[in-house]
Structure 1
Amino acid sequence: MRIHIIRLISIQLWKQSLKNKAVVFLLLILSLLFVFAAYTGWQDYKVQEDVRVKHQVEVRHQWEEKPDKHPHRMAHYGYLIFRARYPLSFFDYGLERYMGNSVFLEAHKQNTVNFSEAGFSSGMLRFGEVSTAMILQTLIPLFIFFLGFSCISAERENNTLKVLLSQGVRWKELLAGKILGLLFLVCLVFIPVMILSLVMWFSLTDFKNTFDEFLRLFWIAATYFIYFFIICSICVIVSAVSRTSRSSLVKLIGLWLLFIVIIPRTAQAFGAYLYPAPSKIDFDTRVENELVKTGDSHNPNDIYYKEIKDSLLHVYRVKTVEELPFNYSGYIMAQGEKISSGIYNKNWQKQLDIYEKQNTVNRSLAFVNPFQAVKDLSTALTGSDFNSYISYQQQVEDYRYQLAQLMNKLQMENISNKKQEANEKPYTISRSHWKDLPDFQYRFISQSTLFQNEAVSVLSLLVWALGLLFVLHFLSKTIKIN
């Protein structure tokens, strides 16, 4: 192919489009939408993060300032964790509005993450929010289709296509030039958007960014560029095989509805139908029924824990639990916490397996819908996807277990086994022990794990790009002028 011919065709499309006042107006509207989406996302993240940090510091202060108490009372007093957001989530909200913002941690009980914004919003939230990613994923393809639906079909209708080809222009050069011309027009908006996102991201992190975080933004830009190449190629191919511009436009609008609306909604419903997940009530009931069968760790004489008691007495060669060198109740509650956490984690993993099967149905359709692939990759790279939420829940549960077992350990080491009389002061330990609990540090999913989770999305985008190149090569040899 001759590069200068491709460049001339792309420049001609670029200039012709910009002469159209409607195109300039649309570019202006899109630019304003991007500025609005970026600013509201930036402001939302900043406000929420400031509130989160403020309340987390307050919770920590209240925890450490608690007076001398029995360790188990502190375990039930509990601790409150507020979910941190990844800075790039201002770019793509993903599931942010549906994820809870705080979770209460206490011994023997796994509470859900509560206070999601969707729970306080109207039904309009189901239609989505104006985020930078939403505009790039849904409105830019529509803009591309508007620009390119007649890029070749109009040439055929005006009989200028015969003139171009008779002058020595090859089909490959014509198709490539039209695709590049559309990409150049998209980049008039896309490049400023990425620069704006970079600046806002810097401001949110106080310019304290790591190389790993820079890579995420690079992968986001690369993902959307490949996505736009796919959309531009589809647009040019449809225009090339259509006899009229009207039929080309109808086909492209149909494809947009299929990709953006019909397939995603259908896939979600189909996945839930194939792999129905138990409700929260069913899940909690199943866990509770299993816990009942294991006994009550708060009762040191519970028959289910009799074997543990007998084995301890045998090992330490004593006759009563009061003679043990540690607090027996604390030891039993530590074992009970271990058992209850194991039951919960086992059932929770079963629930996650069902959700994964549902998501697999949705994810597999990325091979027939590039929108699904770019949506999954975008939310994963911005830390607002389902896997990030599950990772957060697992880390919170690990921290809750650590808190409960720390209090049980303090009870075992500092509380006497001697039974108290009715007029005696309850056993307590010094408040200085509360500082032994480390702060919760949320670890975002690493890039290696991220790309393992989204391998299907990455592969589907590559398959789409390479497949369209093959289609373009095939069309350049078989397509007819009329």
Structure 2
Amino acid sequence: MAVTVWVTLLGQWAADHKDRLHEHATAHMREQWDGMGDSNPHNAVHFGTYAFKPYGFLSSIDEGVQAVTGNVIRLEGHVQNEMAYSDASRSLAVSHFGKLKPALLLQYLVPLLLIFTAFSSISGEREAGRLRLLLVQGLSLPKIIFAKAIAIASLGWLLLTLMLAVFLMEQGPSMEQDEILRIVLLSISYSIFYAVLVLLTVCLSAWSKRSSASLSTIMALWVVWVICLPIVAGGISDELHPLPSRRTFKTAMEKDRHQGIDGHNPSGERRKAFTDSLLVAYGVDEASQLPINADGLIMQADEEYGNRVWDKHFGNNRSILEKQKKVRRLIAVLDPFMSLQHLSMAFCGNDLYHSQDFQVQAETYRRDIIKTMNEKHAYGGSKTGDWSWKASESFFQSIPEFAYDRPRITSVIDQYLIDMFNLLSWTILLVVLTVLYGPKLKFE
């Protein structure tokens, strides 16, 4: 119990520290932006800014994919950057099992504690000669199994409750309704998984004649659940639906940006056609005769074309990731541990869905800023070819700051109905098998 409290407090401290770093970095970047002074809007486009994904109060429990994907995006003109500055890129400490977080205890150590407590719950009674005595006194084997399972699972529920109690002592007064709902769903998910694991272990103990046999069986199954099936699922999903490499992805985007999507309408032709359309619209013969700065509109047209390219390739990657997710969920039917991990990351706001949502919101903000800068460059008072013109400092200060709006859990939960159904199905299956086949077991 002391370890649970210590790890929870340590995770909370680390989360608060990262939140403070993000707040400081956000304030620093905003201060630089507001203090830019009078400047050319296009120079401001290249100066850019950064979007920081809030670390999130539940990240102290489960960091999910955030440790690998990162949570910072540089926003600038002409290019869409990837998320960067992940823990994995700066440290070798991020392993398959992650860092020392409450999720590590709840997903790995607590289940092992429950397994070692439950593996001899029935077989030990048989070896000591007490099981036949209990049956003679009128107790049925299913009742004994359920009683043992509830008693042992209560240990896991107690540790889970203790962790959440320590967590709520730090966060409770400031929580919103969405955050409360996330904690409730998180608690239910772990509670059901512990029930599944303990009931299965107790059933194996009842089926095995010796405690050593039940321990060997459940440990072999645990290794398959925790190590083998996740690796197999990742390998199969990647083999069936491979993602392009980072280099291939960037090269394809650059090619489409300059040569045109599907090899048509290259950048030079697009620029000439757009410039000609401006001359026709304003009834002049040369760009220098335009009452506006054509450079700003030409750059915006190029940005909008680049946005189409990004939507195409990013949308393709998202489609591939969705297909991979379906494969993993299909395999997770055999592995409730995988379903638990999916739910834990989702309810803590650190799954792939939340990561992609942050990237989309940051990209939308980037597009709004670039459009505002280009339109200011075009309509702010300068003429075509005039790159010395500057917008006032107050104009840059009027640009709103990026604020990430995390999706409500009610809009995310439908993405994980299969995982929730999987955990419930395992529970129902084990209960039914215990009721139906428990009385048929014979004891010598």
Corresponding letter in the other structure for 1:181: A
Comparing 361-370 and 340-349, the one that deviates more = 361-370
Classify the secondary structure of the residue corresponding to 1:125: coil
CA distance in 1, matches of 2:324, 2:121: 40
**Corresponding position: 1:321 with 2:287:** yes
Q: What percent of counterpart residues are identical?
A: 28
**Corresponding position: 1:334 with 2:300:** yes
Comparing 410-419 and 387-396, the one that deviates more = 410-419
Classify the secondary structure of the residue corresponding to 2:51: strand
Q: Is the 8 A contact 1:148 1:235 kept in 2?
A: yes
Match for residue 376 of structure 1 among 342, 349, 356: 342
Measured on the aligned residues, the alpha-carbon RMSD in Å equals: 1.9
CA distance in 1, matches of 2:160, 2:295: 63
Q: Is the 8 A contact 1:91 1:133 kept in 2?
A: yes
Corresponding residue for 1:454? Answer: 416
CA distance in 1, matches of 2:96, 2:343: 21
Compute the displacement of 1:156 (Å): 2.0
Classify the secondary structure of the residue corresponding to 2:412: helix
Corresponding letter in the other structure for 2:302: G
Corresponding residue for 1:98? Answer: 68
* Equivalent runs, 1:35-434 vs 2, <5 Å: 35-122=5-92, 125-202=95-172, 207-294=173-260, 302-417=268-383, 419=385, 426-434=388-396
Change (3 A) 1:159 1:366: same
Corresponding letter in the other structure for 1:61: E
**Corresponding position: 1:443 with 2:409:** no
CA distance in 1, matches of 2:351, 2:21: 22
- What are the superposed Cα offsets for residues 21-65 of structure 1, whole Å, 9 maximum, x if unpaired? xxxxxxxxxx23212321221111111111111111111111011
Classify the secondary structure of the residue corresponding to 1:332: helix
The structure number with the bigger radius of gyration is 1
Compute the displacement of 1:159 (Å): 2.8
Corresponding letter in the other structure for 2:120: S
Q: Is the 8 A contact 1:85 1:383 kept in 2?
A: no
Corresponding letter in the other structure for 2:310: Y
- Structure 2, unmatched stretches of 5+, are 262-266
Classify the secondary structure of the residue corresponding to 2:64: coil
Q: Is the 8 A contact 1:229 1:465 kept in 2?
A: yes
CA distance in 1, matches of 2:94, 2:420: 32
CA distance in 2, matches of 1:188, 1:313: 74
Corresponding letter in the other structure for 1:78: G
User: TM-score normalised to the size of structure 2?
Assistant: 0.94
CA distance in 2, matches of 1:315, 1:252: 76
Classify the secondary structure of the residue corresponding to 1:68: coil
Corresponding residue for 2:426? Answer: 464
- What are the superposed Cα offsets for residues 78-135 of structure 1, whole Å, 9 maximum, x if unpaired? 1122221121110112122212232211111011222111111126634422211121
Corresponding residue for 1:23? Answer: none
The number of residue pairs the alignment matches comes to 439
CA distance in 1, matches of 2:190, 2:304: 46
Corresponding residue for 1:27? Answer: none
Q: Is the 8 A contact 1:93 1:384 kept in 2?
A: yes
Change (3 A) 1:186 1:418: closer
CA distance in 2, matches of 1:78, 1:235: 56
Q: Is the 8 A contact 2:361 2:404 kept in 1?
A: yes
Corresponding letter in the other structure for 1:464: W
Corresponding residue for 1:34? Answer: 4
Corresponding residue for 2:443? Answer: 481
Comparing 316-325 and 41-50, the one that deviates more = 316-325
Corresponding letter in the other structure for 1:84: P
CA distance in 2, matches of 1:101, 1:183: 36
Classify the secondary structure of the residue corresponding to 1:454: helix
Corresponding residue for 1:26? Answer: none
Compute the displacement of 1:347 (Å): 0.6
Corresponding letter in the other structure for 2:67: R
Corresponding residue for 2:264? Answer: none
Compute the displacement of 1:366 (Å): 2.1
Corresponding letter in the other structure for 2:304: K
Compute the displacement of 1:283 (Å): 0.5
Q: Is the 8 A contact 2:9 2:167 kept in 1?
A: no
Q: Is the 8 A contact 1:150 1:245 kept in 2?
A: yes
- What are the superposed Cα offsets for residues 211-268 of structure 1, whole Å, 9 maximum, x if unpaired? 1111111111111111111111101110111111111111111111111121112211
Classify the secondary structure of the residue corresponding to 1:103: strand
Q: Is the 8 A contact 1:148 1:182 kept in 2?
A: yes
Comparing 306-315 and 248-257, the one that deviates more = 306-315
Corresponding residue for 1:19? Answer: none
Comparing 459-468 and 470-479, the one that deviates more = 470-479
Q: Is the 8 A contact 2:124 2:210 kept in 1?
A: yes
Comparing 369-378 and 171-180, the one that deviates more = 171-180
CA distance in 2, matches of 1:223, 1:263: 20
Q: Is the 8 A contact 1:161 1:481 kept in 2?
A: no
Compute the displacement of 1:419 (Å): 4.8
User: TM-score normalised to the size of structure 1?
Assistant: 0.87
CA distance in 1, matches of 2:384, 2:115: 80
- What are the superposed Cα offsets for residues 341-378 of structure 1, whole Å, 9 maximum, x if unpaired? 11012111111222222232222222111111111101
Classify the secondary structure of the residue corresponding to 1:80: strand
